[in-house]
Amino acid sequence: MHAALRCPTGKPSRVRLKPASAIPCLLSLALWTAPLPGIGTALSDELPDPATCNILGTVDMEPRIAGWCLMIAPNKGDCLACHHVIAEGLPDGLGPSGNIGPALENIAEQYPERSGLVELLNDPGTRFPDTVMPPYGKHRILSDDEIDRIAVFLSSL
Ligand code: HEC
């Protein structure tokens, strides 16, 4: 008998429902449901590492944690290419971060309104003419929702 199983990796796979061939999918299921450090992030100050962000995806995450994951994802914000982030609970296993831009710290002080951060991420050029920081909204690199979540994270710094 055959059955289409959708593994939590998002890859549909057609497997024979024999124990041996179902093992890869069951393994990823086990991984999905295991008590990963990132799942507890709503309860602790720990920020998930890149691998945990990847496995969890950002859709159902608490906005602040989703913002963090979007910032460190190379195919999303990739903010660490240019910025250090100074925050509580930074995970081990982060790649090196860049110093092209200023270290991101005390952001809430500098940008008391979250809308100021959303504007900045949309088009940093309006505040810093000739900046090398990408216009994430204007160039549709990130969606409005993604930018909003990143602004939530930045406001916590
Ligand atoms: C290509 C490098 C680059 C990337 C990628 C980048 N930035 Fe920047 N960012 C800069 C630079 C440079 C500045 C300083 C403004 C200037 O003078 O150009 C800056 C400024 C900022 C500031 C304002 C800091 C202040 O002191 O006012 C914030 C906040 C910020 N970046 C957040 C982010 C976030 C969040 C991301 C990812 C979504 C990001 N940046 C991605 C280069 C970058």
Domain ranges for the chain, please list them.
2-33, 37-155
pLDDT in tens, 70-129: 999 999 999 999 999 999 899 988 888 999 999 999 999 999 999 999 999 999 999 999
Residues 154, 136 contacting (CB under 8 angstroms): no
Residues 133, 82 contacting (CB under 8 angstroms): yes
Q: Which residue's C-alpha comes closest to atom 7 of ligand 1? A: 133
Distance 102 CA to ligand 1 centre (A): 7
Provide the percentage of residues in the chain whose pLDDT is more than 70.
Answer: 72
Segment (H or E) for 30: helix 19-33
Average pLDDT over residues 10-33: 47
CA 127 to chain centre: 25
Q: Would you tell me how many other CB atoms lie within 10 Å of the CB of residue 14?
A: 9
Alpha-carbon distances, residue 103 vs 39, 47, 67, 79, 97 (angstroms): 27, 17, 17, 11, 10
Q: Is the CB of 154 under 6 A from ligand 1?
A: yes
37-155: what CATH class?
Answer: mainly alpha
Confidence grade of residue 38 (pLDDT, cut at 50, 70, 90): very low
d(CA 71, CA 53): 11
| pLDDT, position 44 | 53
Q: Is the CB of 107 under 6 A from ligand 1?
A: yes
Confidence grade of residue 19 (pLDDT, cut at 50, 70, 90): low
d(CA 81, CA 7): 32
Pocket test for ligand 1, best of 68, 82, 150 (most atoms within 8 A of CB): 82
d(CA 99, CA 44): 28
| pLDDT, position 29 | 45
Q: Is the CB of 83 under 6 A from ligand 1?
A: yes
pLDDT in tens, 132-144: 999 999 999 999 9
Measured at the CA of 29, the angle between CA 23 and CA 35, to 5 degrees, comes to 130
| Ligand 1 atom nearest 142 alpha carbon | 38
Query: Residue 39 pLDDT > 80, yes or no?
Result: no
pTM: 0.78
Average pLDDT over residues 33-40: 47
Q: Is the CB of 75 under 6 A from ligand 1?
A: no
| Ligand 1 atom nearest 136 alpha carbon | 38
